[in-house]
Amino acid sequence: MFTTLWTALITPMNQNGEVNFSDLRKLVKLQEDAGNGILVIGSTGEGLALNDTEKREIVGFMDDYDPSVPWMIGVGGFNAAAQKKWIEYGNSTGADAFLLVNPLYAKPGNEGQFEWFSALMDIAEKPCMLYNIPSRTGTNMSPEVFRRLSSHPNCRALKEASGSIQVFEAFRIAAPEIPVYSGDDALLPYFANAGATGLVSVSSNVWPLQTKRYVEMCLSGNFNSIFPVWKEAVAALFSASNPVPVKSLLYQKKIISTGSVRAPLSTRDLPSEEALFEVDKKITNWFNQQ
């Protein structure tokens, strides 16, 4: 899928909740300068809280910007017809790939999941990364479903975010020819040891170069300086529902204009801004020592 690190980009917003495209340009440039792939309108980008017009505007912005790094469009929901229509729109853009997640809330069984992903990949005219995140969808993709889907020509990668090394290993065994990415920043050292191709990251929003170095070290098996600083940093970035903490830290660092999020998320759920500030200093020190 073109790169070992994809940044699941936040959607920056003004105080009134409107998308801030000036800040979005700055964020895309930071990822481009670091050489990281970019995922827009994923769960970190609050894709389900955006309306169709806003999503099209964000994708249109990316198309006009035409970054020098690969970029990917998130596809998520539970209405099959709507997702197919969204993919058809994405086909007309310069995006390099789609991220396809299990349908939300419906909790389909194996056949339902197989038919869902197959139908979406049939419509897609770009490579697809499948996405297993049962904590958000309520459904765990089975390795058997992944094995069956792996023969589809548009099935090019999997983002695994169940939080289980055993599940990750089961996916690797089910379809060893398909790259599997960690969807959890903290687990990359373990997943890399089990054959991960790379990371789809939240932390690279605020630490694009530092996270790239972290990924390189994990994939090379060099874990000596990673613990405990990265474990502490990632814990702070997930101290409230994603992307509340990472937006707060980006705002503290004056990279974005506000830390605003869309309902039902709330910045009041963040337990400590000071903790974020402290881990930012630690990551900076860690990077400078490499």
Active site residues: 131, 159
Cα 7 to Cα 122, 171, 211: the distances in Å are: 26, 22, 9
Cα 288 to Cα 177, 194, 196, 234, 282: the distances in Å are: 36, 28, 26, 18, 10
Residue type, 30: L
Residue 283 burial (10 A CB sphere; 0-12, 13-18, 19+): buried
Residue type, 282: K
Q: List for the chain the helix, strand, coil content (%; round to 5).
A: 50, 15, 40
Cα 34 to Cα 8, 11, 31, 66, 96: the distances in Å are: 14, 19, 5, 16, 18
Q: Report the distance separating Cα 91 and Cα 271, nearest Å.
A: 41
